[in-house]
Amino acid sequence: MSERPPKNICLMGSTGSIGRQAIDVITGSRNFRIVSMSAHSNTSLFTKQIKKIKPETACITNSEAFKKYGRTTAGPTKIFPPEKLSALCSDKKIDIVLAGSSGSSALIPILDALSKGKTVAIANKEPIVMAGDILCAAAKKHGGKILPVDSEHSAVFQCIENSKAPAEKIYITASGGAILGAGRKKISPEFILAHPVWKMGKKITVDSSTGMNKGLEVIEAHHLFAMDFSKIKVLLHPKALIHGMVEFADGSVSAYLSAPDMRIPISYALNYPQKMKMRNFMDFSNMNLTLEKYPAEKFICFKLALEAGKKGGLYPASLVGANETAVSAFLAKRIPFARIAHIIKKTLSETPDMRYNIPNVLRIEKWAKEYAEKLIK
């Protein structure tokens, strides 16, 4: 039997938590080849990755780091500056773009790739939150495909894919982040980063504790599954084994379970619609699964995200910008944990009214970062 040629992957954010796990999945399979990859500022890890993987092209997305790197080749790999990222993602050779960078900077590369009809496996949630309508419309118009990597969305996607009936309601689960059991402890970055279930990048770990991550995920689900906000429910599930559920017209519910290991949704998005052999088997003989009401009252950022998502337009971009600045300030110990929500709330309330399009989405996100920074100073 003749083997299929490997799929060519462009991996954005190779040095991050998602990127490193994606490399694990990809290098463990003959079905894929990383043709291009990007990192932002961690050039020492990036150099090691390039040496091992030998992609054809690589991009350093931080201009300072690119200048400091000072070379345009590393072995057989050509190294490009930030402005080349879109071209690398949209290159005709690429079959799948895996968006694993953090923040909003991959928005244009993702949009360009979808506009070229590419498949984008998307972990990077900020671009969907900010411009989900535009990205989904571009995919539809040009035959591109958005495959979710975020574990809850991968779960819901698979429940929907496996049923021929439309979803009536979807549920995503939340493990609760670090602060649920914190009591009156001082909430420091060190405390928050010791997240109980998932090992992730710093920003998303803080987002999980403020409730922002779940709020962003509800907006993400709204776009990915074209589902009204009233039909997207969040449940508290500290064990993080059930990631998503879908309810159908007859009241039956499909649930998706897996170990809390991001390599599973990463590998599913890359292998879709197939599943790749992995060693992640669950032991059901002593499993106590609890699902509870999500305590939204404890998570002000969750509520702020939901409000911004429901208002739509440029509010989600303002939310993403303000949150990014507030979370960086918290991690740098410039503000206490409780101020994150205040800064986002104030920024949202002052968000200028403009038309919803890509230039304005980017403009408002930048404005929100600057406005939030002024509130911090």
Reduced to 3 states, what is the DSSP secondary structure of residue 258?
A: coil
Q: Does 40 bind ligand NDP (CB under 6 A)?
A: yes
Q: Which does 101 bind (CB under 5 to 8 A by kind): ligand NDP, Mg ion, none?
A: ligand NDP
For 49, the token pair is 């990755």
Which string of b and e fits 81-117 if b means at least 16 CB within 10 Å? ebebbbebbbbeebbbbbbbbbbbbbbbbbbbbbbbe
Residues 6+ apart with CB under 8 A from 227: 167, 170, 221
Q: Does 175 bind ligand NDP (CB under 6 A)?
A: no
- Taking the complex as a whole, the smallest distance from the CB of residue 39 to ligand NDP amounts, in Å, to 4
Alpha carbon distance 164, 225 (integer Å)? 15
- Taking the complex as a whole, the smallest distance from the CB of residue 32 to ligand NDP amounts, in Å, to 18
> In the β-sheet with 119-122, what is the strand arrangement from edge to edge?
73-74, 77-80, 57-60, 32-39, 7-12, 96-99, 119-122, 145-148
From candidates 15, 175, 208, 258, binder to ligand NDP by CB under 6 A: 15
Q: Which does 105 bind (CB under 5 to 8 A by kind): ligand NDP, Mg ion, none?
A: ligand NDP
From candidates 18, 53, 58, 317, binder to ligand NDP by CB under 6 A: 18
Q: Does 39 bind ligand NDP (CB under 6 A)?
A: yes
Number of residues that bind Mg ion (CB under 5 A): 3
Candidates 136-144, 201-209, 278-286, 303-311: pick the segment binding ligand NDP (CB under 6 A): 201-209
Q: Does 316 bind ligand NDP (CB under 6 A)?
A: no
- Taking the complex as a whole, the smallest distance from the CB of residue 123 to Mg ion amounts, in Å, to 9
- Taking the complex as a whole, the smallest distance from the CB of residue 219 to Mg ion amounts, in Å, to 12
Q: Which does 47 bind (CB under 5 to 8 A by kind): Mg ion, ligand NDP, none?
A: none
Alpha carbon distance 216, 222 (integer Å)? 10
Q: Which parts of 97-156 interact with Mg ion (CB under 5 A)?
A: 150-152
Number of residues that bind ligand NDP (CB under 6 A): 29
Q: Mask 66-105, x = binds ligand NDP (CB under 6 A)?
A: ----------------------------------xxxx-x
- Taking the complex as a whole, the smallest distance from the CB of residue 19 to ligand NDP amounts, in Å, to 5
Decide: 107 and 91 in contact? Cβ < 8 Å.
no
- Segments of the chain assigned E as strands: 7-12, 32-39, 57-60, 73-74, 77-80, 96-99, 119-122, 145-148, 169-174, 232-236, 242-247, 253-257, 292-293
Query: Could you list the residues that contact Mg ion (CB under 5 A)?
Result: 150-152
Binding site for ligand NDP (CB under 6 A): 13-19, 39-42, 61, 100-103, 105, 123-126, 150, 198, 200-204, 262
